[in-house]
Amino acid sequence: MADYGVMMSFDDAVIWIEECAPPGDRKDRAIARLKYERDKSVPVKPRFHKGQYGKKYDYHTCGKCGTIVYVVNDYCPQCGRMIGWDRIRTMTGEKEDG
C-alpha cells in the first residue's frame, strides 16, 4: 500500500477505505459520506427568478434543492451546497466597479 500523507485526493481516499476497512455497512457508509462531502464542495449555480411586481422582488434559488438564497449566502441554508455566484455581489444586487 502506498504511503499517504495528511492530505490525499478523493480517489486515493476511496481506495484507502476499500483496502483497509473491513467489509460491511460501515465501509459503504464511509464511501457514501466521502462522495457527499465532495459533491457538497462543488459550487452550484443559483437560479434567477424575476419578481412578479418588479425588480425589487427578484430572487435566487439554490440550483440543487430550490431553497431561496440571498446575495449574502455563500452556502445554501437547506442542503449546504456552496453557491457559485457568477459575479461580485452587493446588498443591492448591483455589480461593484473595480
pLDDT per residue over 58-84, tens digit each? 899 999 999 999 988 899 999 888 999
**Which residue ranges make up each domain of the chain?**
10-41, 43-98
Beta bridge partners of 75: 82
pLDDT per residue over 84-98, tens digit each? 988 766 555 554 444
pTM of model > 0.75: no
Task: Please state the φ and ψ torsions of residue 80, each to the nearest 5 degrees.
Answer: 85, 5
**Highest mean pLDDT pick, 7-11, 13-17, 79-83:** 79-83
Spatial distance between the Cα atoms of 43 and 63, rounded to a whole number of angstroms: 9
H helices of the chain, in order, are 10-20, 25-41
pLDDT per residue over 44-54, tens digit each? 999 988 888 87
Task: Please state the φ and ψ torsions of residue 75, each to the nearest 5 degrees.
Answer: -130, 150
